[in-house]
Amino acid sequence: DISSLRSQGYATHLGHHGACCPSADKEVLFILVDTNGIHNTKFCFCNCAGAPDRVEQLMRVRMFPATMRRPTMAFTFNLLHQFHLHHLESKASAYDFI
């Protein structure tokens, strides 16, 4: 991911339809798990007054957070769908899926 190569400037912005939030905190180092691998990336969360929390911001862009408090890892809905099908068909564990 290009965001892991640069110290600042490249991050995925959540909220404001992908535009930079004027009241965003610093970029958060994030681990994103998708069907094509595990990626280190950076996210900028929206911190405007009345903005949803980080969990809801991730869910809106179809990512399921690994924790509900200050998430730093998420799984894409596409990956969760693939795992669901894999588990239904083969009855294999999550460890075997990885």
Residue 95: predicted pLDDT: 85
Among all chains, which residue has been given the structure tokens 């892991």? 4
Residue 25: predicted pLDDT: 75
Which amino acid is present at 64? F
Which H/E stretch holds residue 76?
Answer: strand 73-76
The Cα–Cα gap between 23 and 86 comes to 41
Mean pLDDT of the chain: 87
Statement: the pTM of the whole predicted model exceeds 0.75: yes
- Taking only the tens place, the pLDDT of each residue in 50-88 is 889 999 999 999 999 999 998 999 999 999 999 999 999
Q: How confident is the model at residue 8 (pLDDT cuts 50, 70, 90)?
A: low
**Where along the chain do its domains lie?**
12-89
Q: Which of 79, 78, 59, 55 is nearest to 67 (CA)?
A: 55
Residue 92: predicted pLDDT: 85
